[in-house]
Amino acid sequence: MWSNLAKSLILLLTALTLTACSTTGKEMAQDDAMTPPSHDYRIGPGDVLNIIVWRNPEVSLVAPVRPDGKISTPLVEDIPASGKTATQLARDIEKSLETFIQQPVVTIIVTNFVGAYSDQIRVIGQAAKPQALPYRQEMSLLDVLIAVGGITEFAAGNNASVIRVVDGKQKKLAVRLNDLIKDGDISANMVMRPGDILVIPESIF
């Protein structure tokens, strides 16, 4: 009898432990989905860079990032800039300038933000102003809708979707734009991630 009771208690404790682990895993997954990703701004074509070389104003300049993703400086031409952070590019310029300047110290300030193509949020379909937006830290679906001026009267807002690349594969996430912007249902808001595509279809009615 005691042996059977002991076995029953062990089975019960095991089941409770597995349930607790499963619940914790779900909670962690939900928390992760609502947590904005850690993101360092990456330079892209169209950005304007203020390049400051300490104690060398003659080689300091304001330079746009060309469509090919490169910049040119007075002493070094065709430096790849797209996809790098400002700090990474500053270190690259310092290495290039070492031939001409002893121990150069470079600081880069981005003054016009476009961002790397792969990080941009693209909005297509029945938005008031479809466009590509530079990703910002903690950007939400509502932020995106405000930036594009909302949706048109012909939009099927609750049939919209966000296309997101997860682990190298595209996933389609359903979103409810009408509920969010017309009914004020904040539960329909979501955290955006670099490279997301918001697709807003046209209503068939």
Across 136-201, the runs of DSSP E, i.e. the strands, are 161-166, 169-174, 197-200
CA 125 to chain centre: 20
Across the chain, the runs of DSSP E, i.e. the strands, are 48-53, 61-64, 70-71, 79-80, 106-112, 121-125, 131-133, 161-166, 169-174, 197-200
Model pLDDT for residues 156-196, shown as the tens digit of each residue = 999 999 999 999 999 999 999 999 999 999 999 999 999 99
N- to C-terminal Cα separation, the chain: 70
DSSP states along 55-73: T-GGG-EEEEPPTTSEE--
More confident residue, 149 or 4: 149
pLDDT of 2 strictly over 50: no
Neighbours of 36 (CB within 10 A): 13
Summarize the confidence of residues 57-66 as an average pLDDT: 96
Q: Are 109 and 87 in contact (CB under 8 A)?
A: no
Q: Are 145 and 125 in contact (CB under 8 A)?
A: no
- For residues 82 and 45, what is the distance between their CA atoms, to the nearest angstrom? 6
pLDDT of residue 77: 86
pLDDT of residue 6: 46
Per-residue confidence band for 20, with pLDDT thresholds at 50, 70 and 90: very low
Least Cα distance to 68 among 82, 88, 89 occurs for 82
Least Cα distance to 94 among 84, 109, 79 occurs for 79
Per-residue confidence band for 11, with pLDDT thresholds at 50, 70 and 90: very low
More confident residue, 76 or 158: 158
More confident residue, 6 or 201: 201
More confident residue, 6 or 27: 6
User: Coil, helix or strand for 144?
Assistant: helix
pTM for this model (two decimals): 0.76
Model pLDDT for residues 77-122, shown as the tens digit of each residue = 899 999 999 999 999 999 999 999 999 999 999 998 999 999 999 9
Model pLDDT for residues 134-164, shown as the tens digit of each residue = 999 999 999 999 999 999 999 999 999 999 9
Cα separation values, 99 from 63, 94, 103, 155, Å: 21, 9, 10, 58
Least Cα distance to 82 among 92, 97, 67 occurs for 67
Per-residue confidence band for 37, with pLDDT thresholds at 50, 70 and 90: confident
